[in-house]
Chain A
Amino acid sequence: QVQLEESGGGVVQPGRSLRLSCAASGFTFSDYGMHWVRQAPGKGLEWVAVIWYDGSRKDYADSAKGRFTISRDNSKHTLYLQMNSLRAEDTAVYYCAAVEGGSYGGLDYWGQGTLVSVSS
């Protein structure tokens, strides 16, 4: 069955960096667009970034532009999110999600999330 498993979250000081990973299985990873979505404590869902199925295009939310970098390794079935210059407002559970069709669409599959806490 389809599985998306995020890892790499933790407690980090403001201004520092963190890299999240999302390991995929149970579907043809290289056919799916991949997204990062986050959820601050007690809040709703906020889209962060997308990478095309082949890595040819990446788009970011304004809140992530210039600080976060999405990437993927199709040979390892893994998605990444490099987060630099972290701020307190980046504190959230980060979810990866997969879209059949290669880029944008309804988010077909979701992971269980990894918590990032930015605090001094």
Chain B
Amino acid sequence: QLVLTQSPSASASLGASVKLTCTLSSGYSNYAIAWHQQQPEKGPRYLMKINSDDSHNKGDGIPDRFSGSSSGAERYLTISSLQSEDEADYYCQTWGSDIHVVFGGGTKLTVL
């Protein structure tokens, strides 16, 4: 069974950088994932898709401060030059006709 593991929380200072991690469970390290941002009281917003070969595709209007990468079973979202509006929950998501859609538990990012 495919499980996506995320740390429940992360924090970083205004203007700094932070790297969030999403780990695919054993046997699924070749799966692509997508990152989504959910600001307080809002619907989620697609940020980008990250493939196992480290290629990625950003959503419309996503700032260059957001970038993605991949290493083995881990998929990363790096946010640089943190701004107050980056304080949000971040979810990773994967998919397949056999697994349907799977979400990670989410990481709550606090901007200090």
Distance, CA A104 to CA B97, complexed state (A) = 7
Sort chain A's interface into a size bin: 20 to 34
A35 CB–B CB distance under 8 Å:
yes
CB within 8 Å for A111 and B43 given contacts A104-B97, A104-B100: yes
With A35-B101, A45-B91, A46-B103 in contact, do A104 and B96 touch (Cβ < 8 Å)? Answer: yes
Q: Main secondary structure on chain B at its contact with chain A?
A: strand
Q: Give the contacts of B14-46 with A (CB-CB under 8 A).
A: 32-34, 36, 38, 42-46
B59 contacts A by Cβ under 8 Å: yes
Contact A107 B43 (CB under 8 A): no
The 9 closest A-B pairs by CB, nearest first: A106-B34, A47-B101, A104-B95, A106-B49, A45-B103, A112-B43, A44-B106, A110-B43, A110-B44
Instruction: Point out residues on A near B: beta carbons under 8 Å.
Output: 2, 35, 37, 44-47, 50, 59, 61, 95, 97, 103-113
